[in-house]
Amino acid sequence: MASYETSLSASDPRVLIGLGDHRGPVTAVITWPDGRQQRVTLAPGRYVRVEKP
């Protein structure tokens, strides 16, 4: 995912992940551009803000 900005606009940096009918939490693995990985627990119906460690 890449985020871009210009003087007149910016792209939306959010990533929306659909869990479908899944009712419990799931674990997502984020691979950052520098190769580091981060695990995040996601719950249905919630927003989570993740920042690069």
Secondary structure class of 47 (helix, strand, coil): coil
What is the Cα–Cα distance from 51 to 24, expressed in whole angstroms? 23
Say if pTM beats, i.e. exceeds, 0.75. no
What is the Cα–Cα distance from 23 to 4, expressed in whole angstroms? 34
The alpha carbon torsion through 43, 16, 11, 53 (nearest 10 deg) reads 40
- Average pLDDT of each block of 10 consecutive residues along the chain (53 residues)? 63 82 91 94 90 86
What is the Cα–Cα distance from 16 to 7, expressed in whole angstroms? 25
